[in-house]
Amino acid sequence: MLKILFQIMSRTFKYEMKPLFEERMRKLMPLEEDFQKFSAIVHIGPRNFIRCNNLKISPKELIEKLRKKWEVSQPFQGYEEIMLIESELKPGELGNSLEHVLGYYYVQEISSMLSVLALNPEPEDLILDLCASPGSKTTQIAARMQNTGTLIANDLKMDRIKILSSNLEKAGVTNAIITRNDAISFCLRLLKTNFKFDKILLDAPCSGEGTLRSSPKTFNMWNHKVVNNLSRLQKKFFANAIKLLKVGGTIVYSTCTHAPEENEAIVDFALRNFPVKVETISLPLKCRPGITEWKNETYNQEVTKCCRIYPQDNDSEGFFVSKLTLLGEIK
C-alpha cells in the first residue's frame, strides 16, 4: 500500500482548470462525487502502459525479458500484448531500454490503443490511417494485419512524417505506404481514382481534453473557440473520408477529448448525411455511452453506442471511440 501511495505521489502535479472548462466537465459529470474523482485524477500522471510489438517478439518472450528488471503485468485477459509496468521508473527509462530501441514494444497509453481494437484490422485488409503520426496506432494496425495487406499512413507536416517513418521502421512495419498530404485534398484525389478501403481510421486532430494527465499544459491551452473550430474541421475530414470506404466497410472515428462538439456531434452529423450505422463496441475498459443532449443540441439516439472513456473510471487518459459501417453507396 505504501509503495502504491508513493507511486501516486511521485506522479502528482497541480494546475488550475479554467472556469469554463470546469463548467463543461461538471455538465458531463453532474454527480459531484464523479466530478471530484475526475478533478483529482487529472492531476496525477498516467500509468506506464506499453504494447508488445508482435511483429518482432511474442508477448510471452517480451514479458520474460522485462520481468528481469521491472514488475510487469498483463491486466486485460485476451489482450496479452497490452502490458503495465508496475515498477517505479526513472524519467525516460521506458524509452531508453534496449527492448524499446529494438522495437519490441511501443510506449502507448491504454486509451490510445482502443481505436485500433475497435477497428479490428485483419490480415490482407486495405486500410487508411488518415491522420497517422506519430504512429502508435499505425504500428498497432500493422501488427494486427501481421504485416500483410496494405496500410496507407497519411499525415501533413514533414516533421510529423519523419517521426512516423522512424517509428514504422523501428517497429519493422513493411506493409505501409507513407503519404504526406492535407487530409481533405488527399481524400479528394483518391476519390477520383475510385480507390476504396476496407477500413478507415480517423483519429482526428482534437482539443486534447483527455490528455491532461500526460500533457498538463492542456489546462492552460484549452479554449472553447478551438473546440468549435476543430468540430467544423472534423466534420470535413469525416465527410471526405467516408467516401473512400467500401460498402460494408468500417470507419472508426476517435479523439482524445471529452468535448461533445468533437465527438457525438460528428457521429450525429454522419448519421444525418450518410448511409451509415453505429456499431456496438466491445473494449477492455469501462465505457460510458455517448450523450444525446449538449447545450441546445439533441443528437441521434444511436450515439449512445459510442464509447466515452473517463480517466477516473479506468485510471487512464480520456478518450472517445465510435465505429460506423457504411450501408450503401454515397451519391
What digits encode the pLDDT tens for the residues 22-53? 999 999 999 999 999 999 999 999 999 999 99
Q: Which of 256, 287, 306, 307 is catalytic?
A: 256
Q: Is the pLDDT score of 247 beyond 50?
A: yes
Give residue limits of the domains in the chain.
47-108, 111-326
The set of cell numbers assigned to 72 is: 510487469
pTM across the whole model: 0.94
Exposure of 168 by Cβ count < 10 A (0-12 exposed, 13-18 middle, 19+ buried)? buried
Cell numbers at 316, concatenated:
487512464
In this prediction, residues 291-307 reach a mean pLDDT of: 98
Reported for 99-102, long-range contacts at CB under 8 A and 24+ positions apart, including other chains, are 99/62, 99/65, 99/66, 101/170, 102/56
Q: What are phi and psi of 254, to 5 degrees?
A: -140, 155
Indicate if 256 belongs to the active site.
Answer: yes
Model pLDDT, residue 240: 98
Classify domain 111-326 by CATH architecture.
3-Layer(aba) Sandwich (3.40)
Question: How many other C-beta atoms are found inside a 10 Å radius of the C-beta of residue 79?
Answer: 17
What pLDDT score does 2 carry?
Answer: 44
Position 14 scores a pLDDT of 65
| Cα–Cα dist 239/245, whole Å | 11
Domain 47-108 matches domain 111-326 at the CATH topology level: no
Q: What is the mean pLDDT of the chain?
A: 95
One CATH from 3.30.465.10, 3.30.70.1170, 3.40.250.10, 3.40.50.2000 for 47-108: 3.30.70.1170
